[in-house]
Amino acid sequence: MKPIAVILAAGMSTRLRPLTEDRPKCLLKVGPKAILDWQLEALQSVGVSDLVVVVGYRKEMIQEHIRLHHPSFSVRFVENVAYEKTNTLFSLKEALLVLDGDFYYMNADVVYDKRILQRLQAGTDGGFLAIDKKQCRDEEVKVVVEHGRVAEIGKHLNPEHCEGEFIGVAKFTGDFARRFRQQVLDLAVPGNEMKFFEYALDAMADKSDMIPVDITGLPCVEIDFPEDYAFATEQVVRHLVDAEEDNAHV
């Protein structure tokens, strides 16, 4: 079965305005390419050409960008019509209503080295989360790791007790993917509109197959605030370009 990826790209990204007043965040340029371009090239490196992209804010721009610049991808666009009033839990539900099986997952605002996906690629029958081991900020999605498994995940966790940041890139496979899908569908209900999708991961009763994948040292950044965008354009992109040049000479 061909691998598939889910990309959540519905949000308005108001914290990045004025940068996102005329375009969705995933189309912001980081160096020579848009955030989305970096992601799609990373997906190609692990053999993914089938996508489910959840859109909302300025959806036509995303659809046109992929059509023009990435015609080799087979894309199913799913709309979160309530994108102004819901968060990633509800966007992921829209994707999982049309998808049943293994999938790569990513938030559309993460710029990352394609080697991160390559580290996730080998994972089977589990939830494999890309974790950057570092001292986290309150805003970041953090993980507590016990006995080599993710025991807790969310922004609410005390940074002092956490292993690092979940960067918003993952792979869900096998029975875990099936159970996680049902958890999302069960929890994306009235009252949980502003929950992040990690809420469903944290609520899973059995986390024995939720596995942290160490990607520390590989360039990546989730762009939520102007300072994140500055870091991406001033620091991260240099490492990504250098990595591309190194691969070209291999």
Question: Which pLDDT band, with edges at 50, 70 and 90, does 191 fall under?
Answer: very high
**pTM to 2 decimal places:** 0.92
- The reported pLDDT for the residue numbered 18 is 82
Give the mean pLDDT of 76-100.
96
Q: Assess whether pLDDT exceeds 50 at residue 143.
A: yes
Alpha-carbon 100 to chain mean position: 18
Using alpha carbons, list the distances in angstroms from residue 93 to 29, 187, 196, 204, 244: 28, 9, 11, 16, 34
Give the mean pLDDT of 204-210.
94
Q: Distance between CA 13 and CA 184 in Å, rounded?
A: 22
Give the mean pLDDT of 140-161.
92
Question: Which pLDDT band, with edges at 50, 70 and 90, does 172 fall under?
Answer: very high
- The reported pLDDT for the residue numbered 185 is 97
